[in-house]
């Protein structure tokens, strides 16, 4: 089992405590702040997987309240293991899985992306939605996702990216940095968490820079699909079979 250095451990604890504190309002605020678009993005992301695999075995990293895992079972007939570091997010996910009667298809484990507690070469697909920018060490998390994939297996990352064109980029920038933190704070009571959201997105590599991170983690055949004018992107890549 890998161990984390002190700086990584401190960052991870801060992120864990933030998600523990907003878990109860997380789904509601996702729907509100994205005007429901987050659901379409997850559906599209899982559609990409369903287009390539029938009944895949999937690792959902940073599964949170399990929305992506549930979508993967419903759309791709997947069996899913979800991992996350936040006990409160996982508990909300567990209740939702029970409500959807998907306890047979989805298992959840408390674990971090930087030290995934599974053997190498196990999963057909490793996926993560809106999680990678929160990892204490995103590059280590991507490498771990690469390790647990079978040869030829696929990574799918759904993450915020920054829209490019005028005037959409400016309108979105205003909404994302001014309106969203205010509404998020009002409904969650956590000012820090909804200030962290735009700050973490603006600081995280997107487009070519993120493709570079996937490539450095060992993935090939990488592609990016921009969603809703580039507000979010689906990145896919493959674990090259060993020679």
Ligand X SMILES: C[S@@+](CC[C@H](N)C(=O)[O-])C[C@H]1O[C@@H](n2cnc3c(N)ncnc32)[C@H](O)[C@@H]1O
Dihedral sign of CA atoms 92, 132, 144, 114 in order: negative
Distance of alpha carbon 158 from alpha carbon 148, whole angstroms: 19
Binding site for ligand X (CB under 6 A): 12, 15-16, 19, 61-65, 67-68, 83-86, 89, 112-114, 129-131, 134-136
**Angle value at C-alpha 210, between 65 and 176, nearest 5 degrees:** 60
Nearest distance in Å: CB 38, ligand X: 7
Distance of alpha carbon 37 from alpha carbon 67, whole angstroms: 13
Give 151 or 225: the residue with its C-beta nearer to ligand X: 225
Give 145 or 211: the residue with its C-beta nearer to ligand X: 145
Give 79 or 165: the residue with its C-beta nearer to ligand X: 79
Nearest distance in Å: CB 157, ligand X: 11
Any idea what DSSP says for residue 168? H
Both structure tokens of 81:
């293991």
Nearest distance in Å: CB 241, ligand X: 27
Nearest distance in Å: CB 12, ligand X: 5
- Which residues face 70 on adjacent strands? none
Nearest distance in Å: CB 175, ligand X: 18
Beta strands in the chain (DSSP E): 57-61, 79-84, 106-110, 123-129, 149-160, 219-227, 232-239
Give 154 or 201: the residue with its C-beta nearer to ligand X: 201
Give 135 or 235: the residue with its C-beta nearer to ligand X: 135
């Amino acid at each position: 089992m890998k161990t984390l250095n002190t700086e990584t451990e401190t960052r991870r604890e801060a992120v864990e405590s933030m998600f523990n504190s907003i878990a109860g309002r997380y789904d509601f605020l996702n729907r509100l702040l994205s005007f429901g678009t987050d659901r379409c993005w997850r559906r599209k992301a899982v559609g990409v997987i369903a287009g390539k695999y029938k009944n895949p075995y999937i690792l959902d990293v940073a599964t949170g309240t399990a929305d992506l895992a549930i979508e993967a079972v419903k759309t791709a007939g997947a069996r899913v293991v979800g991992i996350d570091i936040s006990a409160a997010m996982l508990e909300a996910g567990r209740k939702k899985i029970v409500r959807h009667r998907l306890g047979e298809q989805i298992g959840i484990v408390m674990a971090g992306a930087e030290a995934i507690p599974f053997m190498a070469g196990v999963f057909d697909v490793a996926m993560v939605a809106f999680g990678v920018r929160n990892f204490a060490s995103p590059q280590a998390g991507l490498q771990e996702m690469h390790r647990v994939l079978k040869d030829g297996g696929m990574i799918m990352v759904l993450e915020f990216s920054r829209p490019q064109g005028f005037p959409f980029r400016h309108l979105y920038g205003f909404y994302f940095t001014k309106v969203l933190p205010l509404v998020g704070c009002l409904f969650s009571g956590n000012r820090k968490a909804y200030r962290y959201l735009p700050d973490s997105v603006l600081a995280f590599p997107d487009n070519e820079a993120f493709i570079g991170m996937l490539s450095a983690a060992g993935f090939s055949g990488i592609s990016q699909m921009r969603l809703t004018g580039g507000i979010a992107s689906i990145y896919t890549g493959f674990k090259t079979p060993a020679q």
